[in-house]
Structure 1
Amino acid sequence: MNKGLFSVKSFLTAFCTLFALTVLAQGQAQKGVVDKIIGVVGDRIILQSDIQNAIADAMRSGEKLPSNAPCVIMEHAILQKILALQAERDSIPLTDEEVESQMDLRVRNWIMQFGSQAELEEVAGKTVYQLKDDQRPMIKEQMLSDRMRNKVVSDVHITPTEVKAYFEKIPKDSLPFLESELEVGQIVLLPPASKDVEDYIYNEMLGYKKQIESGATTFEALAKRVSEDPGSRERGGTYEVNRSDKSTWDPVFLSTAFRLKAGEISLPVKSNRFGYFLIQQVSRRGDAARIKMILRIPPVTENELSVAKKTLDSVRAEIENKKISFKDAAYKYSDDENVKNYGPYVLNRDGSTYVTIDALDKDMVNTIKDMKVGDLSKPVEFTNDQGKKGVRLVYLKSKTEPHRMNLVDDYAKIADLALEQKKAEVLDKWISKKIPTYYILVDKQATQECPELNKYETTDKGF
């Protein structure tokens, strides 16, 4: 199943998510289009619309599709069902709570994608609860499939000799040209504003509350005028929130939002991560709520920033005098909440610490432009994604120049690719042994267009 270095792997990664969105596309499907079953695995079916909608969703998302996308998706769908059925045979554990947690995560992502729960429901033509009912079997199947695959390939490892052999088999003209990549770390201090400034902001927000409750203005109008949250300001402060979404919102924000009654406006709520919130609950259904909010960020002055710079000057001296490593210093001193879970380095979407320049914020790009590998910057001011001013040390751990993939510069990447191919070969052998133990039918037209699907059929009945 080695169909290219990156394209098929990245497409299938996106497909795993896009396939779960087919119900949304079906909600918009044209009336009169006749659907049909094009595959059967055990007691599970694959519909033609599943394949068509997955391709349409991939195109809407800007994914680069391989030329044989329908064949790749069809084969992946068959494999997923075989793996899921085998997981059930082997009694691989998967709790209802785990499925619901994944389902809630998907729904929250869809709400963010479409802007609100109402927009999502309008596009899908269904309520969130109906969507969950429709999607739950699909999510469960995908999770079982992933766990079965992980079990099959859990003992697969790669040696340096195998990595070298894998690389030498790649045609020279097929080696990708890679952009410059960097490993960049940071130690962040976000000094609090002075008490006088915080008191001033708090009292201003009390004034907002009184203006709204007196009818002098509306929540939406004030949010558009004074809120410092770019994500909701133009929507009049509107958000869809879920009680379990603690990675996005502070616990104090969530507890306040869900304690309010419909139409009620909170007192100003302080969040160390963001600033001060004024919250109004619009409506609530279970653990989901529609709210409006105004965010104000108490500004820090040069005095607070100066104190933070002096602190980081001391931290920098500790690192340069080898009293502490950069990583340990980040864990000890940084105010960046991501450090605890992900470390001090900027991460790529796949979790890698190797990023291209466009993954860095403008302030950081400006900081590293004259740095050499191994340099640790002096304390520099910056503004984070939430609009808070802070000070940070920036460490340039490594940097590659644009180049053709090679073993010296890209060993880790090549090793990952070689390992994935080896896992795919092990999985192929495992699948070959399992295919005869399942009842599998594939549409004749599909096998004509995709000859590689013939190997899955276990009956000559066809359809």
Structure 2
Amino acid sequence: MNKLDFARVCVCLLLLLVGTVSHAQNNVIDEVVWVVGDEAILKSDVEDERLQAQYEGRRFDGDPYCVIPEELAIQKLYLHQAEIDSVTVSEQAVLQEVETYTAWLIEQIGTKEKMEEYYNKTSTQIREMLRENMRNKQIVQEMQRKIVGDIKLTPAEVRNYFSKLPADSIPYILPQVEVQIITLEPKVTEEEKERIKSELREFTDRINKGETTFSTLARMYSEDPGSARQGGEYGFMGRGQLVPEFANVVFNLTDTKKISKVFETEFGFHIAQLIEKRGDRVSYRHILLKPRIDQKEIDEALAKLDTLANDIRKGKVNFDDAATWVSQDKETRNNHGLLANPQTGTARFEMGQLSSLISQDVAKVVDGLQIGEVSQPFTMTTSKGKEVCAIVKLKNRIDGHKATITEDYQRLKSIVTAKRSEEKLQKWIVEKQKKTYVRINPEWVKCDFKYPGWIKN
């Protein structure tokens, strides 16, 4: 029996099982609407996806009962290949995404009870549904990256692609800004540092005495939003994924029953506990506490920046040199304080990008500046959750315009790269369809599918 015959047998058994359960209860509990390979897509799967999309405000290009099953079928193709290729993702990363999304849902809907009512499921069932969805989504993304590989484009290929586009198809580039920044970190008093360290030592004592567990204290007190809900746990991490100070501690832990000494990183103060080591990767749990900054120290840092800004405006010092020698922002001070856009690899930001990728505080200040103007000092929260004081300079503002090769090469290159990636994935799906058994419930087959190869003659 070949694989295709085996898949057909599995389908028949699956349909028989669903029909038997329904008949026994004289009620349709669920319905198999598609089968891809030996995997079923149920009507309830489609409904769950439709409810989630509806709440996210997603609009479908067509009938949701056609679009969603096809999307799920494509996902099945990727997941099947991922299983063959042993593509996996971090369970911890999955759990983090589930917790983040669940918190967003509750915030949007209002309460946990309303969320349960909306989905007609308990919060535990919703989390399990999301956990499966998030895991599958991450695996699909990894599989897509593997299929696409490394796409390399020459400037000539980018120019050639856009030279053939009709004028009305050339992308419009929204207004952009280039921004320089100087930051100062308000000092943390020795008394505050000692208070934090004392609290962490108390946690260690309570764990060692058996009064509580590390995970319980992490859930209650840790200020790391990425791990607190999971009891301070992260999945297996390589040394290069951690800041050096943190890696030096957790990679030197050898006893899973012992707690590390209190140590400091740029995020704050920590204690950590080893869970398991596998080769050059380590799994751990930790508790992070962040020192509170006294308003007096914030005021002093703002005053220093105010004096510096005035000196820059008077020409006593230029912003580039001040950023190099004064700024405490490690990521920009060696580039004269110039902020870099991680999405494009350039120094240009659309205002929405500046807000989401750097800081809403920075975006608000920059929005009111003229080119070359230096801002008043202000406080901001960095992407690492640290409160700092800053001044910024608007180096340049680029008006919205039709994209050109000379001005927007990196943006245009990313568009062509995305196009090539999509073409590779579409070709892969078409080829995978040909090798995969597909059965669609007759009541669900009258659709204008994006990939017509689902229905085989």
TM-score under structure 2 length normalisation: 0.56
The sequence identity of aligned pairs, in percent, is 14
Give the Cα–Cα distance (whole angstroms) in 1 for the partners of residues 39 and 217 of structure 2.
Answer: 52
Are residue 450 (structure 1) and residue 447 (structure 2) matched?
yes
Q: Which residue of the partner structure matches residue 206 of structure 2? A: 212
Equivalent in the alignment of 2:128: 124
Q: RMSD of aligned C-alpha atoms?
A: 6.4
| 1:166 aligned onto 2:160 | no
Summarize the Cα distance change of 1:443–1:324 in structure 2 as closer, same or farther, 3 Å threshold: same
Q: Which residue of 1 aligns with 2:370?
A: 372
Counterparts of residues 67-106 of structure 1 (less than 5 Å): 67-73=62-68, 99-100=87-88, 103-104=89-90
Where 2:351 maps in the other structure, the secondary structure is coil
Is the contact between residue 144 and residue 425 of structure 2 (CA under 8 Å) also seen in structure 1?
no
Match of 2:287 among 293, 296, 321: 293
Residues 224 and 142 of structure 1: CA distance in aligned 2, closer, same or farther (over 3 Å): closer
How many Å separate the matches in 1 of 2:199 and 2:376?
A: 37
Please tell me whether the aligned partners of residues 183 and 396 of structure 1 are also in contact (alpha carbons under 8 angstroms). Answer: yes
Question: How far apart, CA to CA, are the structure 1 residues paired with 2:344 and 2:79?
Answer: 27
Partners of 1:280 and 1:425 in 2: CA distance? 43
For 1:10-49, what aligned pairs fall within 5 Å after superposition? 32-35=29-32, 37-39=34-36, 47-48=41-42
Q: 1:126 to 1:213 in 2, by over 3 A?
A: same
Compute the displacement of 1:276 (Å).
1.8
Distance in 2, matches of 1:253 and 1:202, equals 17
**1:305 equivalent in structure 2:** 301
Distance 1:214 1:440 in 2: 57
Deviations 1:395-448, CA, capped at 9 Å, x for gaps: 3356689xxx97389x96996898589759966996899699756756364774
Where 1:270 maps in the other structure, the secondary structure is strand
Q: What is the rounded CA distance, in whole Å, between the counterparts of 2:200 and 2:425 in structure 1?
A: 64
Counterpart-to-counterpart distance in 1, 2:55 and 2:239: 30
SS at match of 1:449: coil
User: Would you say the 8 A contact 1:224–1:234 is kept in 2?
Assistant: yes
Q: Alpha-carbon deviation of 1:121?
A: 10
Q: Given the alignment of the two structures, is residue 344 of structure 1 paired with residue 339 of structure 2, yes or no?
A: yes
Which of 370, 392, 395 pairs up with 1:394?
A: 392
- Within-5 A mapping of 1:233-272: 238-244=231-237, 250-253=243-246, 256-257=249-250, 259=253, 261=255, 264-271=258-265
Q: TM-score, length-normalised on structure 1?
A: 0.56
> Displacement of 1:344 after TM fit?
1.5
The change in CA–CA distance for 1:338 and 1:109 in structure 2 (over 3 A counts) is farther
- Secondary structure at the aligned position of 1:239 is classed as coil
Q: For 1:277-310, what per-residue CA distance to the aligned partner results, in whole angstroms no more than 9, with x for missing partners?
A: 24466x6696675735241326473697379638
**Cα distance between partner residues in 1 of 2:284 and 2:453:** 48
> Which residue of structure 2 lines up, in the alignment, with residue 276 of structure 1?
269
The one-letter amino acid paired with 1:354 is E
**Could you tell me how far 1:270 is from its partner in structure 2?**
1.1
Whole-angstrom CA distance in 2 between matches of 1:459 and 1:95 = 26
Change (3 A) 1:307 1:249: farther
* Comparing 288-297 and 74-83, the one that deviates more: 74-83
Cα 1:109–1:127 change in 2 (3 A) is closer
Deviation at 1:162, TM superposition (A): 1.4
Query: Equivalent residues in 2 for 1:90-239 (5 A)?
Result: 99-100=87-88, 103-104=89-90, 107-114=92-99, 123-124=127-128, 141-147=143-149, 158-160=161-163, 162=165, 164-166=167-169, 182-183=176-177, 185-191=179-185, 193=187, 196-197=190-191, 200-201=194-195, 204-205=198-199, 208-209=202-203, 212=206, 229=223, 231=225, 238-239=231-232
Give the conservation status (yes or no) of the 8 Å contact 2:325–2:333.
yes
CA distance in 2, matches of 1:204, 1:95: 49
Matched pairs, number: 392
What are the superposed Cα offsets for residues 101-140 of structure 1, whole Å, 9 maximum, x if unpaired? xx12x64143343279xx9999439999xx98x8998566
d(CA) in 2 for partners of 1:190 and 1:222?
Answer: 32
CA contact (8 A) 1:166 1:418 kept: no
